[in-house]
Amino acid sequence: MNELVLALGWSGIYSPMAIGTVAGAIGCSIAGQAGIGAMLETEGGYGRYIGISAFPSSFVIYGIVIMFTLNREVTPENAGGLFGVGFFAGIALLYCGIWQGRACAAAINAAKEKPEIFGLSLAPAVIIEGFGVFAFVFALVVSAGIPGAA
């Protein structure tokens, strides 16, 4: 049983980076596919479509920082905290990455039809980024209370 508890602790350390990477990959893929479609239908502005499609990659960075913050010796006393913070921060990043990818795809589709709304169309993606930042910051704050910090 002790080995299972320790394994959960270790998976909690790695989870935010791994799940954040999945979030970035899915979100960038969703937005990137919309960007490619927009490039086929427009005569310019390709750089902004590519730029928007990279927005969800920020969740990978958040996951890496959380992983390094959680990285410490895993004991039965801290394994639950490491798992809880790491896994649930990763899940929050996953949802933010997927939905930000969808918001970016919508912004790309809107901007290709009406280029003058390009900046405003990014507002939903920016709001979703804010939710990811909340999960990131709160994971950092809560991780400070987990025993065994270096």
pLDDT in tens, the chain (150 residues): 789 999 999 999 999 999 999 999 999 999 999 999 999 888 877 888 899 999 999 999 999 999 999 999 999 999 999 999 999 999 999 999 999 999 999 999 999 889 899 889 999 999 999 999 999 999 999 999 999 865
Say how many CA atoms lie within 13 Å of 46 toward its Cβ.
7
pLDDT of residue 150: 55
In this prediction, residue 1 carries a pLDDT of 75
How far apart (Å, rounded) are the C-alpha atoms in residues 62 and 56? 11
How far is the C-alpha of 80 from the C-alpha of 128, rounded, in Å?
A: 28
pLDDT value at residue 149: 65
Instruction: Give the C-alpha separation, 108 to 122, whole Å.
Output: 9
> Given this model, what pLDDT does residue 127 score?
97
CB 76 within 8 A of CB 2: yes
Distance CA 94, CA 44 (A): 32
Contact 99, 124 (CB under 8 A): no
CATH superfamily name and code, 2-143: lithium bound rotor ring of v- atpase (1.20.120.610)
pTM for the whole structure: 0.91
